[in-house]
């Protein structure tokens, strides 16, 4: 992999940068009546996706540490992984979207886009290359059945 930052650390860095942008360069600020409900919804969805993904990996008895995909003992395609190849990252993205709505400023949206770019290029692409090498045709079939993010 290009960089070996744990995704929770990438999440924390992203949230910190979002907060700084909202405080020191807010651009357009907004507020609306269902804001708290949307923040709660994103947080609940993020928690559900993350827990469902960890549960699927736990049932398969394989590693959840994405920094070392070569330690994967089994390709997980059941549970939440029937719908998304990256539900843990999708869950993190839900928390980032919750933070964007909570911070009520347009400038943190830049960090949402940077998070997706970073995860696609420095986390997911290297993981997929390793999984492709390890599971070959089984992984190709899985990629045709489940989308990357959702």
Identify the band that residue 65 occupies on the pLDDT scale cut at 50, 70 and 90. confident
What pLDDT is attached to residue 4? 75
- Do 119 and 36 meet the contact criterion of CB atoms below 8 Å apart? no
Q: Per-residue pLDDT tens for 12-47? A: 999 999 999 999 999 899 999 999 999 999 999 999
Q: How much is the pLDDT for 132?
A: 93
What global pTM score does this model have?
0.93
Confidence of residue 150 (pLDDT cuts 50, 70, 90): low
List C-alpha distances in Å: 150 to 19, 80, 109, 147.
26, 10, 20, 6
Which residues are within 8 A (CB) of 14 and not within 5 positions of it... i.e. 6 or more apart? 96, 111, 112, 114, 115
Model pLDDT for residues 77-115, shown as the tens digit of each residue: 999 999 999 999 999 999 999 999 999 999 999 999 999
């Amino acid at each position: 992999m290009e960089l070996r930052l744990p995704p929770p650390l990438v999440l924390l860095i992203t949230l910190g940068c979002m907060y700084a942008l909202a405080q020191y360069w807010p651009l357009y600020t907004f507020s609306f009546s269902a804001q708290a409900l949307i923040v709660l919804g994103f947080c609940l969805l993020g928690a559900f996706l993350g827990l469902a993904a960890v549960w699927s990996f736990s049932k398969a008895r394989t590693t959840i540490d994405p920094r070392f995909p070569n330690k994967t003992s089994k390709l997980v395609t059941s549970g939440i992984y029937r719908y998304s190849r990256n539900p843990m990252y999708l869950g993190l993205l839900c928390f980032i979207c919750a933070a964007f709505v909570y911070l009520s400023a347009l400038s943190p949206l830049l960090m949402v886009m940077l998070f997706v770019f970073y995860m696609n290029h420095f986390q997911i692409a290297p993981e997929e290359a390793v999984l492709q090498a390890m599971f070959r045709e089984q992984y190709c079939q899985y990629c045709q059945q489940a989308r990357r993010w959702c």
